[in-house]
Structure 1
Amino acid sequence: MHPAAPGAPGTEPASPALPTPAFAALGLSAELARACSDVGYVHPTPIQVQAIPPLLRGQDVLGLAPTGSGKTAAFALPLLQRRVAGRQHAFRRVRVLVLVPTRELAQQVGEVFRRLGASFARPLKVAVLYGGVSVNPQMMRLRGGADVVVATPGRLLDLLDRNAVRLDTVEALVLDEADRLLDFGFAAERERVLAALPAERQNVLFSATFAPEVQALADGLLRDAVRIEVAGEARAAPAIEQRVILVDPGRRTELLRHLVQEGGWRRVLVFVATRYATEHVARKLAGRGMHAASLHGEMSQSQRSQVLQDLRDGRCKVLVTTDLAARGIDIPGLDVVVNYDLPRSPDDYVHRIGRTGRAGAQGMAVSFAGAGTQAHFRLIEKRQQMSLPREQVKGFEPVEVAVPPVASEGVGGVKGKRPSKKDKLRAAAART
């Protein structure tokens, strides 16, 4: 859908050559259709066109949807209409439960529900629950119940143990970013959450990938589900210019600083592999006069919120983070995503670059590749069905070469064998 103002959440441009139905034509009430207009939604996105009608009919839905496709509104709109609108009472009963993997995504999903429910005759009450902050304010907000609960599993179970929330009235369960929920250990918590829910309910599962674990979860949870796939949009990524720059590992920070300055980049999200690297790279950039900060999972919620706000407001130019920020964080006007370290999973490449080029804006994704990581990037290209040219930046041309596998005595080399630490030390000694 085209937002009236840049940066509206859950939006993407619709092709002018292909007329898109209005929200009301999908079966939404006039009240919610107006709410869409109020928040800047004009036309439904493909995932919304396919998901809203079956969800309004009460069917289970299994959706493959990339970041930035508008999937939050795709489930929020029909569930608000079918499960909440006109059924709010003095003591609110939780009718919709949304489970998400991270606190940032919880906040984002909760905000979408609040904005879409703002036009209800009785204001919608949304409880957003996540760890990393004091539990007491969340317990206070749950007094009198809630219409919609958006939560991370660990904090939800904590509040269930404290009898601060009841889930026996839930009519619809949504697992958002199901693949990442499983990565974060949701399998161990799933049975406790499901045991607190009524057996009869509508189930919705959205995931960016359909790994075997996700499919197994769907098979056990969903009944006669409508399956929806819009993953092809993520691979095409028409609004994102993707680049691969060859550089030696030791010169990546210097090259990053050069690119930010030469390109006039205003907001840059840089992905690294470890918490230590976030602080190390941010500190080196700051030491050279660049407004840079780090973001990682060991920071408090207030610290994380502050650095994200600094990036949005322009007080921070470069934010260095782990995959913590690959999903669930919306940064309007993000110019560039940089893969300083390549993602471990080819699927995570899509989630990372999906932070830029949102709401129809032009974005750029730059990946650094060295002698030891080019093979891994070729795997990413193969999985994403793409092929990108390799670039070199003048003054930063790489000099390191890939270390070939070392064959054992009397035995031919093993194709694809990774060199051991001793092999690498021998090769380094041979170059000196």
Structure 2
Amino acid sequence: MTFKDLNIIPAILEGLSKANYTAPTPIQEQAIPAVLAGRDLLGCAQTGTGKTAAFSVPIIQLLSEKSNGPKAARHIRSLILTPTRELAIQISDNIKAYSRYTDIRCAAIVGGVSQKVQERALNQGADIIIATPGRLIDLVNQKRIDLKHVQILVLDEADRMLDMGFIHDVKRIIAKMPSKKQTLFFSATMPPEITKMVKTLLVDPVKVEITPVSSTVDRIEQSVYLLENGKKQSLLNHILQDKSIVSALVFTRTKRGADRVTRDLSKVNITAQAIHGNKSQNERQRALNNFKSGVTRVLVATDIAARGIDVEELSHVINFNLPNIPETYVHRIGRTGRAGHSGMAISFCEKDELPFLKDIEKVIKKTIPEVKNHPYPMTSVPSFVKSNQTSKSAAHKPAADKPAKAKANPARKPKSEWFKKSGKANHSKPSHSKPNNNSTNHSKPRAAK
């Protein structure tokens, strides 16, 4: 199938061709006809499936067919809400590429930069705005943005907006728009609150579900390093001595961790920049542009800041810290292996992260191969990990699984007993009060088996 088969107008086809789009992805094949037909849409799709074009292309076409006319004032006729600044800018760049041979104008409205540039874009007129909730509410309150003419609303990465606490802002924004409009809703996961929103916002939607979050891209080669506590930076420095790693996106759990990793890489002459929420928008965009152009070899990011990072030939994703939510792992490694290219996903795992590794393997339904030949191996590897690496079937034996599960995820006490019981435990077993003994308490009994 080609984009022409989807009844796309010639002006957009020319823009897609210029952007090197050849054939539609599965989500584009299913979503574009539904949106062109004026239907509400519920898209369950993770990053890297081509969903930006799936909603942008038909929006450009629908708005082009309902032109304002040469002398009419431009109103905002489509609003695309996204959780992060990077994603908003990326979508804006894509829409400009797709619509370059049409009369459609778009603008990105994001925080972290001067409002003046955005005001100028709004004054010149924009048919589509792509916005993060905070800055959009500011401009609506200042009466610089009017949403009364919105015909098509897109909520992109709704689950991430929920995670970031934007849902109440989103509801306030929706209240400023006409009740009758076409709504396109995209989310990689469907937690209860998102499901509730879908029921209130969408009318008889077409549902498009592509690449369940539990499935990882087959062309991505995955591996895990089990290593001693405190050796992650040393291992990262060691791995990056390999010049065949042309570009690497490194994920850390915290902003401070991202800065620390970046500093330590610079000390060993590896070009690296950090991207996270404490950086200004200009700093984040500069770091991203340097990474895309190859000036910077390593980009160190937190999960939230990494939304919107789309680098076609990214060779490696490295999980410096394993995420505690398995679906996040799938999103992270999906940043590589795009556009027909192969990719590698490397994870570092210390003893206290072993439960996270186990949960990830359960979700992706495969055992991640362990790299054993490295300078910082984990000593006294728990027996359940050993059995996982040697035999998939052994991981399902009750005798091996149950003790590990009990240790990794201890049952929670009722709140009424917290202080009473913990006090007794502290008197009878003083060693339990030591703050950093969790990982050794997890591993020693297993190693002894």
Category of TM-score, reference length = shorter chain: 0.7 to 0.9
Aligned-pair CA distance for 1:318: 1.6
Q: Single out whichever of 52-61 and 312-321 deviates more from structure 2.
A: 312-321
Q: Structure 1 residue 51: deviation in Å?
A: 0.4
SS of corresponding position for 1:250:
coil
Equivalent residue number for residue 335 of structure 2: 355
Deviation at 1:287, TM superposition (A): 1.1
Q: 2:233 aligns with which of 217, 233, 253?
A: 253
Distance in 2 between residues matched to 1:247 and 1:101, nearest whole Å: 34
Offset, 1:376: 1.2
* CA-atom RMSD in angstroms: 2.4
Q: In the TM superposition, what whole-angstrom CA distance separates every residue of 1:323-368 from its partner, at most 9, and x where no partner exists?
A: 1343211123211010010112111111111111111111111111
- The Cα shift of 1:396 comes to 2.0
Kept in 2, the 8 Å contact 1:169–1:198? The answer is yes
Counterpart pick for 2:93 among 111, 125, 129: 111
Kindly indicate whether residue 307 of structure 2 is the aligned counterpart of residue 327 of structure 1: yes
Equivalent residue for 1:298? 278
Matches within 5 A, 1:104-253: 104-120=86-102, 122=103, 124-232=104-212, 235-253=215-233
Which of 262, 265, 275 is equivalent to 1:282?
Answer: 262
Q: Which residue of 2 aligns with 1:78?
A: 58
| AA partner of residue 100 (structure 2) | A
CA deviation digits over 1:363-421, x for unaligned, max 9?
Answer: 111111122111211101112222222222332222265699xxxxxxxx965328966
Distance 1:64 1:256, change over 3 A: same
Q: In structure 2, what is the Cα distance between the partners aligned to 1:295 and 1:327?
A: 11
Contact 2:216/2:330 (8 A) holds in 1: no
Question: Displacement, 1:264?
Answer: 2.3
Does the CA contact (< 8 Å) of 2:88 and 2:132 recur in 1? yes
- Corresponding position: 1:417 with 2:416: no
Q: Give the Cα separation in 2 of the matches to 1:381 and 1:85.
A: 48
**Partner residue of 1:339 out of 304, 319, 322:** 319
Percent identity over paired residues: 38
SS at match of 1:372: helix
Separation in 1, partners of 2:320, 2:38: 44
Normalised TM-score (structure 1): 0.87
Equivalents in 2 of 1:428, 1:312: separation in Å?
Answer: 41
Matches within 5 A, 1:42-61: 42-61=22-41
304-313 or 416-425, which deviates more: 416-425
2:19: which partner in 1? 39
Q: Tell me the CA shift for residue 114 of structure 1.
A: 0.9
The runs of 5 or more residues in structure 1 that have no matched partner are 1-20, 405-412
How many residue pairs get matched? Answer: 401
Matched letter for residue 286 of structure 1? S
Query: Using the alignment, how far apart are the partners of 2:148 and 2:295 within structure 1?
Result: 45
Q: CA deviation at 1:231?
A: 2.0
More helix by share: 2
- Which protein is bigger by CA-based radius of gyration? 2
Deviations 1:73-125 (A, max 9, x none): 001111111133450444211111100000000001111111111111x3x21
In 1, Cα distance between equivalents of 2:440 and 2:378: 16
Task: Please tell me the residue identity of whatever aligns with 2:260.
Answer: H
Structure 1 counterpart of 2:365: 385
